[in-house]
């Protein structure tokens, strides 16, 4: 028997970076609203608690990845996972948000009733020795902060001969404390953010680490500490310094992205020049660090203080660019016939994207196929009422967009209260709007899943510009009654 549903005004799903931020914004801007946060796991942190592999860190600076309302005070601008996790948990504790979280609640289904102007949300609550019970919640507004990828499993392609390998194969998403790599030969398959993070960290203890990639990625070195930022923080009040540095970094990031779009060859040579300076003129940069695509067609990989380049120069790590023919008992045989010896193989092969954490959604009995919806302002979905999701930028820090999304949701809820509305729903009436992929990235993890994702439209407010300054104008100051959002 399922107990009577518990009701709140706003139900937030996910207690990671976005979910804790959403709780804070609701408390500050909608103080009369009741809310709960449902979290499927047993702790706060999301990504920053899930991933436990060596060296886990941000690939954005903490002045932009941090919350707008809580200055980042630590010396390192490129922070490691444990420090980010502590920052998120400290935010939750300082604001009493941790008392609003229900752990072990995995949200499975949500159904909207227009006559009741209400969501009924079904969650599985785990208890004790693997027991599971179904619990219900009702809410007026559903705010999904569940991330963009499948937390259960990363992307692991089937490699020929993998069952023959005598050593251990581990995906970074499943890393555990019993992975012993000290003194071992390690091959890391991949060339993305996870691989370039793992390789220099593993190289500190392993006998040797090889990064095996099919094709190169653009890799950029950046100081882990920001000397200008640290000087400003020594002279200015913490909040003022934080916002000055934040805006400097935002504007620089926007400039660099636009320059990459307008003058890709110039940016390419700039990046490769940095790699050449780090590795020397004799290193084969053309083979191992020169991608086939232009900068920002995929996300750039950041290496703080050039740690990856340092490991390569020291000889504790190396890069091999080749195709895998098969795994063997002792390692990996490549297409050119050579073999990489390995005791441990790490498959840093990426993520599986997932819409709204895999939530099944229905509106008045109609199942919603999100692949057939249009994304409104990067946060809501056509013909789906009273539901928003926090989804960050692909070309800048995730939290920048999530902060704006939280602000907009609070504006929207307050606007509805002032006018006595119970329902808001974006609806497209413009026949000239054409559908476009929601993510304009050539990365493998995007291309594998983009067909399942909501679409963006060819015009505002359905177009995603991936531009923080434009989004501030639109989300913080733009009209709430824009002719596209329907209220009732």
Q: Which domains does the chain have, with CATH numbers?
A: 6-151+352-487 (3.50.50.60), 162-347 (3.50.50.60)
Ranges 149-153, 165-169, 396-400, 450-454, most confident:
165-169
Cβ atoms of 341 and 186 within 8 Å: the answer is no
Strand partners, 436: 456
Cβ atoms of 316 and 203 within 8 Å: the answer is yes
Q: What is the average pLDDT across 226-252?
A: 91
Structure tokens at 143: 């705010």
Cβ atoms of 220 and 274 within 8 Å: the answer is yes
DSSP letter string over 366-420? EEP-GGGSBEETTTEETT-TTEEE----SSS-HHHHHHHHHHHHHHHHHHHHHHT
Mean pLDDT of the chain: 92
Cα distance between residue 158 and residue 44, in whole Å: 33
Q: What is the average pLDDT across 412-429?
A: 95
Render pLDDT for 306-356 as a digit per residue (tens, 0 to 9).
999 999 999 999 999 999 999 999 999 999 999 999 999 999 998 888 888
Contacts (Cβ under 8 Å, ≥6 apart) of 282 = none
Cα distance between residue 353 and residue 213, in whole Å: 21
Give the global pTM: 0.92
Cα distance between residue 57 and residue 337, in whole Å: 35
Cα 253 to Cα 17, 194, 249, 468, distances in angstroms: 21, 21, 6, 10
Characterise 301 by phi-psi region: left (phi > 0), alpha (psi -120 to 50), beta (else): beta
Cα distance between residue 253 and residue 469, in whole Å: 11
Beta-carbon-side half-sphere exposure of residue 92 (alpha carbons within 13 Å): 23
Structure tokens at 186: 């390690």
Render pLDDT for 44-84 as a digit per residue (tens, 0 to 9).
999 999 999 999 999 889 999 999 999 999 889 999 999 99
Cα 457 to Cα 8, 393, 395, 398, 425, distances in angstroms: 33, 17, 19, 21, 16
């Amino acid at each position: 028997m399922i107990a009577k549903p518990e009701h709140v005004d706003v139900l937030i799903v996910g207690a990671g970076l976005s979910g804790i931020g959403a709780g804070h914004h609701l408390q500050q801007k909608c103080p009369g609203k009741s809310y709960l946060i449902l979290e499927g796991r047993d702790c706060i942190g999301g990504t920053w608690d899930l991933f436990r592999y060596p060296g886990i860190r941000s690939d954005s600076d903490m002045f932009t990845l941090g919350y707008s309302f809580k200055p980042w005070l630590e010396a390192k601008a490129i922070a490691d996972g444990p420090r980010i996790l502590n920052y998120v948990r400290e935010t939750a504790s300082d604001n009493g948000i941790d008392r609003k979280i229900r752990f072990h609640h995995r949200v499975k289904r949500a159904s909207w009733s227009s006559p009741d102007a209400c969501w009924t949300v079904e969650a599985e609550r785990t208890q004790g020795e693997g027991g599971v019970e179904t619990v219900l919640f009702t809410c007026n507004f559903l705010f999904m902060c569940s991330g963009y990828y499948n937390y259960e499993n990363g992307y692991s392609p089937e490699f020929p001969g993998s069952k023959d390998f005598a050593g251990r194969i581990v995906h970074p998403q499943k890393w555990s404390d019993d992975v012993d790599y000290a003194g071992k030969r390690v091959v890391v398959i991949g060339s993305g953010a996870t691989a370039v993070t793992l390789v220099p960290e593993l190289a500190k203890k392993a006998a040797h680490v090889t990064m095996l990639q099919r094709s190169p990625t653009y890799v950029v070195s950046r100081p882990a500490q920001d000397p200008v930022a640290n000087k400003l923080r020594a002279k200015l009040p913490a909040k003022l310094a934080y916002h000055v540095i934040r805006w400097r970094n935002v504007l620089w990031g926007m400039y660099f992205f636009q320059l990459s779009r307008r003058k890709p060859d110039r940016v390419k040579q700039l990046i490769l020049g940095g790699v050449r300076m780090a590795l020397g003129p004799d290193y084969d940069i053309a083979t191992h660090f020169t991608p086939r695509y232009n900068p920002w067609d995929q996300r750039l990989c950041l290496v703080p203080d050039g740690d990856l380049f340092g490991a390569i120069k020291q000889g504790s790590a190396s890069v091999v660019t080749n195709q895998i023919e098969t795994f063997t008992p002792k390692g990996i045989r490549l297409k050119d016939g050579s073999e990489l010896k390995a005791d441990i193989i790490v498959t840093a092969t990426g993520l599986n994207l997932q819409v709204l954490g895999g939530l099944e959604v229905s509106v008045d009995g109609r199942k919603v196929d999100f692949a057939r919806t249009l994304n409104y302002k990067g946060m809501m979905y056509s013909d789906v009422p009273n539901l928003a999701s926090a989804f960050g930028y692909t070309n800048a820090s995730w939290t920048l967009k999530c902060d704006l999304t939280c602000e907009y949701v609070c504006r929207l809820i307050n606007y509805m209260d002032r006018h006595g509305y119970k329902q808001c729903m974006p609806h497209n009436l413009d026949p000239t709007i054409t559908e476009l992929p929601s993510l304009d990235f050539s990365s493998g993890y995007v291309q594998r899943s983009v067909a399942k994702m909501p679409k963006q439209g060819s015009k505002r407010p359905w177009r995603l510009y991936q531009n923080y300054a434009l989004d501030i104008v639109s989300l913080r100051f733009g009209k709430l009654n824009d002719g596209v959002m329907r209220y009732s």
